[in-house]
Amino acid sequence: MTKNEFYAFITYVDYSVFSYKQFTIDLVEYIIESLSDEDVNIDEVFVGALSYKLNTVLEIMDESLIDFELLNEILDNVNKIEL
């Protein structure tokens, strides 16, 4: 997955379909803002930090939440980003 494909994926998240927790919405918006910032270099460090953050959240999140599925899908796509 290219960086542009990941950006297209993450910006496609539709908050009106499911009732996500505010934390999830804030995290997705943080990712979008980070990807939009021209000063942020999307490299191994950025992808690694994002992957770590998502893994940490998923470890403590209740798997029955719809948020878990979304964040897990985001993590899968983060791990597919070609650097």
**Could you report the per-residue pLDDT of 46-62, keeping only the tens digit for each?**
999 999 999 999 999 99
30 falls within a domain: yes
**Could you tell me which of 65, 60, 70, 62 has the C-alpha nearest to residue 27?**
70
16 falls within a domain: yes
**Cα separation of the two ends of the chain:** 9
**Domains in the chain: how many in total?**
1
83 falls within a domain: no
Split at pLDDT 50, 70, 90, the class of 83 is confident
Name, in order, each residue with C-beta under 8 angstroms of 32's C-beta and a sequence gap of 6 or more: 7, 10, 11
28 falls within a domain: yes
Range of the domain at 54: 3-78
What does pTM read for this prediction?
A: 0.91
